[in-house]
Amino acid sequence: MDLNALFQDHFSVKPMVKACAPGRVNLLGEHVDYNGGPVLPAAIDRAVNLVAAAQTGPIARLFALDLGKATAFRLDQLEKKIDLDGQPMPKWAHYPAGVAWALQAAGLPTSGLEAVYNSDIPIGSGLSSSAAVETVFAVTWEALGGWQIDRMQMARLCQQAENGYVGVNCGLMDQFASAHGVAGHALYFDTRSLDWEAVPLPPGIALVIADSGVRRSLSTSAYNERRAACEQAVQLLKQYLPAIQSLRDVSPVEFAAYGEYLAPEIRRRAEHVVKEIARVESAVTALKSGKKQSFGALMYSGHASLRDLYQVSTPELDALVAIAHDLLGCIGARLTGAGFGGCTINLVEESQASDFIQSLQQGYAAKTGRQAQVYLCRASNGAVADRVI
């Protein structure tokens, strides 16, 4: 699809900027971000691609190709969330509008623009399509405006857009990964300190993402219950470990000693978080040492913990992991994202990825009667915007 030609057909001018921002998959470190823990995502080679031109006047005109929808709104009336006709702004436009809102609040100019964009990131599958949209508009306004900020600040402004404008209380991992991706690498990201480093993935490895076909249904109440259980665990464990501020501060040895004083459900939730944080640290060591089988074992262990302790898996996700475990070339598999539907992430030998995908789809259909969409991905670079000559 030639976005440049489509842009010129739609707006009758030539584009000035082309931009791209990837989705992401989390390899390990689930439900630890709100406990101050480290995560291990990777940007993937499924992305939002955009072309744009600046225009005089404070108006943004957007055409979302994959949705087949267009809208326009004023950049000096963002708080009203209305389009040029005075009607409520469509929900999909809240993401780019929210980025402009956050950039303006930070004192960064956002020029009027015309933009056409398209995404091959499946919506609602846990691969951060919304963060990719936010990040691609952030780098576009940066390129058009001639200003520059560091990528962590950009990720935080995109998070502010989603928290404060869209109204979704997400963490920072998704925007961080889209902005900071490094080809061939996972990203170790400390959600407390915001320190990070790129960790090389083993050569000859593919990231295979399998969509269960069950849309994520993690209700607000279920999510809040788990967050509350973690907070309760911290308050109770402070009797024995007075210096702790979050479960990030509790070692597995300390939890083994004091976890028995927690009520059963709170203990299960906290045990997952404490051990998942330790798994992320062990995974980084395994990757740096080239021990891919050790990394795979940590993925399987992480899935079992999400299934049995945090209880956010589903029969469909469990089936995908069980089938993958027995297929040639599979190094590790687990659910990825919040759970209650969505996708699994599989680390697979690239030479056997094609057969793996076919066998996984066939096995899943036979076991569940459902069809799984399966995507062969690689770890990719983060968002970029370039001037069109």
* pLDDT, tens digit (0-9, with 9 covering 90-100), for 93-137: 999 999 999 999 999 999 999 999 999 987 777 788 899 999 999
CATH 3.30.200.20 fits 3-200+380-387, yes or no: no
Q: Determine the Cα–Cα distance for residues 248 and 278; give it in Å rounded to an integer.
A: 9
Q: What is the pLDDT of residue 347?
A: 98
Cα dihedral 42/47/53/55 (nearest 10): -80
If one counts every other C-beta atom within 10 angstroms of the C-beta of residue 170, the result is 16
* pLDDT, tens digit (0-9, with 9 covering 90-100), for 183-220: 999 999 999 999 999 999 999 999 999 999 987 655 56
Single pTM value for the model: 0.94
Residue among 174, 211, 249, 318 flagged as catalytic: 174
What are the CA-CA distances from residue 189 to residues 32, 51, 66, 196, 278 (Å)?
A: 11, 30, 31, 4, 14
Please indicate whether residue 318 is annotated as part of the active site. no
